[in-house]
Amino acid sequence: MKRVFHLRVRSRNISCAPLRELEFDKRVIYRMGSVTPTNKITKRKDYMEINSAKACEISGNKIKMKERFTHGKIATAEWFMLRPESVEHNRTTDKFFSSKVNCALKKWKAIIVKRYNSSGGKGIFFIQTPEDFDTFYRSEDFCNCHPLGVKNYIFERYYTYSREYRIHVTEMGCFLADRKMLIEGAEDRWHRHANNSVWISEENPKFDKPTNWNDIVTECINAMKSIGLDVAAFDVKVQNNKHENPKFIILESNSAPSLGEQSLEAYKQILCDIING
């Protein structure tokens, strides 16, 4: 009788628990965000692995992720980092400021600041004025990031593109996609997250698929490869379809996205396709 093995899912994401019910004729480790090395999980050498610990580490660290995107020439938001010594304190006005941030504001109009491990709308700030930078620098989030302080954050150009999608891919292509749409009366309109958005599936007319969808999916696959992941989700902002070839940017990667009923079924199917070859 042939032995069967349950999929070993390494993740703190409780929404992926039903994936552990999957059975295969081989041993498989699937990481959703886990950075635990294989030799800390098992001493066996016959495990197939989906998403390496190193790739999950890079995906979960926005600084390392952006460095890979830049190296791979991925279509992503312009960004920079600050050194602690580049932040100045005006004793007269008791305000913190940065000449680099001020120059970027003049050029970009608005900046999004992200902590290297921010998620769920936490550890992220919107800057439109030097006063906003001072507010960020005095925030509890920033003060808790010492000793590295400002080195824990990336400063990213804010794009006003009206549509945002979460696109799940493997080397085979896109196997799941949703559009993130702001709920009526949402206060924070510069950033879409679980508390201010609804998720629109591809079957819904409001999904409004970009005319250059295939190009966007291809770039998501390129981004996945630049990080080293096998299965990944990407948040992508896209101009509206009034443009003949809408511009788009990949905001960030996610190796451990939250899964609902529909997305669980999509993940079960793609994992079966990958594992069974």
- Taking the whole predicted model, whether its pTM rises above 0.85 is answered as yes
- Structure confidence at residue 185 (pLDDT): 83
| pLDDT tops 90 at residue 202 | yes
DSSP string, 17-36: GGGGG-EESS-EEEESS---
| pLDDT tops 90 at residue 193 | no
CATH topology of domain 58-76+161-276: D-amino Acid Aminotransferase; Chain A, domain 1 (3.30.470)
HSE of 237 in the Cβ direction (CA atoms, 13 Å)? 14
Torsion-angle region of 197 (φ positive above 0: left; ψ -120 to 50: alpha; else: beta): beta
Mean pLDDT of 54-59: 98
**Proportion of the chain above pLDDT 90, given as a percent:** 87
Tell me the per-residue pLDDT of 159-187, one tens digit each, with 9 for 90 and over.
999 999 999 999 999 999 999 999 988 88
- Structure confidence at residue 158 (pLDDT): 98
| pLDDT tops 90 at residue 271 | yes
- Structure confidence at residue 241 (pLDDT): 80
Mean pLDDT of 108-130: 93
- Structure confidence at residue 115 (pLDDT): 95
Between residues 194 and 227, which one has the greater pLDDT?
A: 227
Closest listed residue to residue 236, CA positions, set 244, 222, 228:
222
User: What whole-number distance in Å separates Cα of residue 121 and Cα of residue 92?
Assistant: 34
Between residues 147 and 57, which one has the greater pLDDT?
A: 57
- Structure confidence at residue 215 (pLDDT): 97
Of 89-93, 113-117, 243-247, 269-273, least confident by mean pLDDT is 243-247
When the pLDDT of each residue in the chain is averaged and rounded to a whole number, the result is 94
Closest listed residue to residue 8, CA positions, set 37, 32, 35, 28:
28
Mean pLDDT of 110-117: 96
- Structure confidence at residue 145 (pLDDT): 77
Domain ranges of the chain: 5-51, 58-76+161-276, 79-157
Tell me the per-residue pLDDT of 218-255, one tens digit each, with 9 for 90 and over.
999 999 999 999 999 999 999 988 878 899 999 999 99
Mean pLDDT of 63-69: 98
Tell me the per-residue pLDDT of 35-48, one tens digit each, with 9 for 90 and over.
999 999 999 999 99
